[in-house]
Structures are given as C-alpha cells and as structure tokens.
C-alpha cells in the first residue's frame, strides 16, 4: 500500500543510499583514516573511520529526524546529531498501532568496508536496514557505488539493480569454495575448514560478503563479535534469498541475540552480537562446519574471551 509508512521509509532508504554512495565516491580519492576515539592507538580494521562516514551519517540523521522523527536509530558513529535521538525510544513501547514507525529501528552503516574504501578498492557499500524492536529484520538496502549495484529486500520481494535500473540476475546454482570469516576460527579451525575444500579469507565488506553468500557467490560468512550494523543490515536480503543467519551453534538469531546498553546517557545502543553465521554451502558441509565450531580448540581466542559467554 502506498500510504504504508514502512513502504515510505523503505523508498526513502533506497533514495538515501544512492545519494550517500555519491558522497562516498566523491571523497574516496582523498579518504584517510581519522580513527575512532574509542579505538585510540588501535591498528584494528574496526577502528578505521573517514570524514565521509561522518558526513553521510549526519546527513542521514538530519533528514531522518525531519521526515520520520518517531523512529529509533542504530548507527555506527558517535556524531553530534545522534543527540536528537537520545531519549528511550529505542526500547519497545506498548499500545502502539502495528504500522507506527515508533515500533521500528532504522540501522545505518555509512560506509561498510572502510579499510577497503581508504585502500581505493571497490568492495565497500552503504547499508541501511529496518527492524522491529524485537530485532526482526524486514528490510535491507545495500548499495555498492563503485560496483554500481543496489541490493534491496522487503517482506514482499528482493531485487538487484544497476544504476540504470536494469535488473541483475545471479545464477543460483553456483558452488563457491570461499568462506569469509572474522574472529571465529583459530588457526586449527581454519585448517580443518580448508580440509573441507574451502578457502577462508577476511571479508573486504561484511555487507557484500553476506550478499555474495546469499547469492551463492561465496559459501559462507562467519563473524565473531559482530556489530549489528555489520552482521544484520543485509539479513532481510539474505533471508529473502533463502539464507538464514545463525550463531555458531546453528541457532537462528532473534531477540535473545541482542543486548542493550546506554551510551554516555545520550541514547540506547546495541552491544555486539556474539556470533553471526551465514552459510549457503550444502547441508553436509554446513554440518561439518558446525561440528568444527563445536570444539573450543577450533575457535578464535578473542571470541572465547569477549563474546562466548553471551551465546544462548
């Protein structure tokens, strides 16, 4: 229905992603790492940030507050306009009509694959998603401006277009040997997965790695301690194509997978998800991968130290 507020914001998300992509491309040639205050002195890829991240997020928050002020936010950066959303709207509110945007959260990753971005490579994206407050992700918008592809999904359908609005079709019978992985396998675990015939590499962009997994261009994406904006923004797209996100035990992700915390009294944020796994390989290979994950000797030490206790 045209007047459905979810359809309105979904269309706005797509329009915004295209504009954000243009901003990202404009700034890529001069992009440098300005770092994140909370990672001061860190060399980790997760600490990388650029001016374009802040520009895109501030534009997003300004327009969102003007057009859809009742919705809650989950964004990556701590930019000034997050204070517009500093009340507790992130938490569920009772007695709201089913279609009210106050029941929903919009998620933004202004540039996913920032390390790839500042390296002047193509595999980065702008990502947006919509979920309810029980973290059922229903809408995805992933735009890869350098590759010129936009991937979208809603409860009604999913689509892949280029900038000329031409529909792109990917064959569904592909059999990839690539698994994208971050902070899940130990060296022993990685070797055991390699023995199954897979090549395990780090993802240049979490969003694109998940999209490629859903489309069978890669066999899997496994991420320990993923920020929700990394591991879940493409979830609606992946599910629409038939790939369900799980934890390392093969259990579907749901409300139990998400924890809240308050950030400096400004607004409610989400903790990292202990683990996110998307697998599109054969059922037999999935079973063997989960068997490998069942042995702690095959698991990354950082995951065991920081995230394992929160798995349910």
Cα separation, 181 vs 190, in Å, equals: 9
Distance from the first to the final alpha carbon of the chain:
38
Given a contact cutoff of 8 angstroms between Cβ atoms, the answer to whether 220 and 277 are in contact is yes
258, 260, 261, 206: which is closest to 235 by C-alpha?
206
Q: Which residue has the higher pLDDT, 265 or 306?
A: 306
Give the pLDDT score at 83: 86
77, 85, 89, 90: which is closest to 38 by C-alpha?
77
Mean pLDDT is lowest, of 113-122, 156-165, 229-238, 284-293, for: 156-165
User: For the chain, where do the domains classified as CATH 3.30.540.10 start and end?
Assistant: 5-162
Helix residue spans in 68-186 (DSSP H): 114-118
The mean pLDDT of 56-80, rounded to a whole number, is 93
Cα separation, 129 vs 110, in Å, equals: 12
Q: Which helix (H) or strand (E) holds 302?
A: helix 301-306
Cα separation, 141 vs 154, in Å, equals: 9
Give the pLDDT score at 241: 93
The mean pLDDT of 124-153, rounded to a whole number, is 96
Q: Which residues of 257-266 are buried (b: 16+ CB within 10 A; e: fewer)?
A: bbeeeeeeee
Give the pLDDT score at 156: 84
* pLDDT grade for 168, boundaries at 50, 70 and 90: confident
Collapse the DSSP code of 58 into the 3-class scheme (helix H, G, I; strand E, B; otherwise coil) and give the result. Answer: helix
The mean pLDDT of 128-136, rounded to a whole number, is 94
Q: Which long-range contacts (CB under 8 A, 24 or more apart) does 303-311 make?
A: 303/183, 303/184, 303/224, 303/225, 303/274, 303/275, 306/225, 307/224, 307/225, 307/272, 307/274, 307/275, 308/274, 310/259, 310/271, 310/274, 311/247, 311/248, 311/249, 311/274, 311/275
269 forms beta bridges with 261
Cα separation, 193 vs 214, in Å, equals: 19
Q: What share of the chain is helix, strand, coil (3-state, %, to 5)?
A: 35, 25, 40
Helical packing angle, 283-293 and 187-195, nearest 10°: 160
> For the chain, how many residues are written?
312
- In the chain, what percentage of residues exceed pLDDT 90? 70
Mean pLDDT of the chain: 89
**DSSP code, position 183:** S
CATH of domain 5-162: 3.30.540.10
Q: Which two tokens stand for residue 219?
A: 């066999």
The yes-or-no verdict on residue 43 having pLDDT over 60 is: no
The yes-or-no verdict on residue 26 having pLDDT over 60 is: yes
Give the pLDDT score at 94: 52
The CATH-assigned architecture of domain 178-310 is 3-Layer(aba) Sandwich (3.40)
Per-residue pLDDT reduced to its tens digit, 263-293: 655 566 789 999 999 999 999 999 999 999 9
Q: Which two tokens stand for residue 19?
A: 């504009």
Give the pLDDT score at 47: 62
User: For the chain, where do the domains classified as CATH 3.40.190.80 start and end?
Assistant: 178-310
Q: Which residue has the higher pLDDT, 256 or 34?
A: 256
Cα separation, 225 vs 206, in Å, equals: 13
The yes-or-no verdict on residue 107 having pLDDT over 90 is: yes
The model's pTM: 0.92
């Amino acid at each position: 229905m045209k007047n459905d507020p979810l359809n309105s914001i979904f269309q706005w998300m797509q329009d915004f992603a295209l504009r954000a992509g243009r901003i990202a491309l404009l700034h890529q040639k001069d992009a440098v790492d300005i770092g994140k205050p909370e990672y001061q002195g860190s060399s980790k890829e997760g600490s990388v940030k650029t001016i374009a991240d802040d520009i895109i997020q501030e534009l997003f928050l300004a327009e969102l507050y003007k057009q859809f002020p009742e919705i809650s936010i989950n964004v990556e950066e701590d930019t000034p306009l997050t204070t517009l959303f500093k009340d507790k709207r992130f938490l569920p509110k009772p007695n709201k009509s089913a279609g009210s945007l106050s029941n929903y959260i919009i998620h933004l990753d202004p540039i996913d694959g920032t390390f790839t971005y500042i390296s002047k490579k193509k595999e980065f994206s702008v990502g947006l998603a919509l979920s309810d407050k029980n973290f059922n992700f229903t809408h995805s918008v992933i735009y890869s401006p350098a590759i010129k592809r936009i991937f979208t999904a809603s409860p009604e359908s999913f689509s892949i277009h280029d900038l000329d609005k031409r529909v792109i079709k990917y064959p569904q019978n592909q059999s990839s040997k690539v698994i994208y992985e971050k902070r899940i396998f130990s060296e022993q675990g990685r070797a055991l997965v390699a023995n199954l015939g897979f090549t395990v590499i780090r993802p240049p962009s979490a969003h694109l790695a998940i999209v490629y997994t859903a489309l069978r261009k890669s066999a899997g994406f496994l991420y320990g301690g993923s920020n929700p904006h990394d591991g879940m923004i493409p979830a609606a797209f992946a599910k629409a194509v038939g790939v369900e996100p799980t934890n390392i035990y093969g259990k579907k992700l749901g409300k139990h997978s998400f924890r809240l915390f308050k950030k400096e009294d400004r607004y409610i944020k989400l903790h990292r998800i202990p683990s996110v796994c998307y697998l599109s390989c054969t059922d037999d290979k999935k079973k063997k991968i989960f068997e490998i994950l069942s042995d702690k000797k095959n698991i990354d030490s950082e995951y065991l130290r920081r995230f394992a206790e929160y798995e349910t």
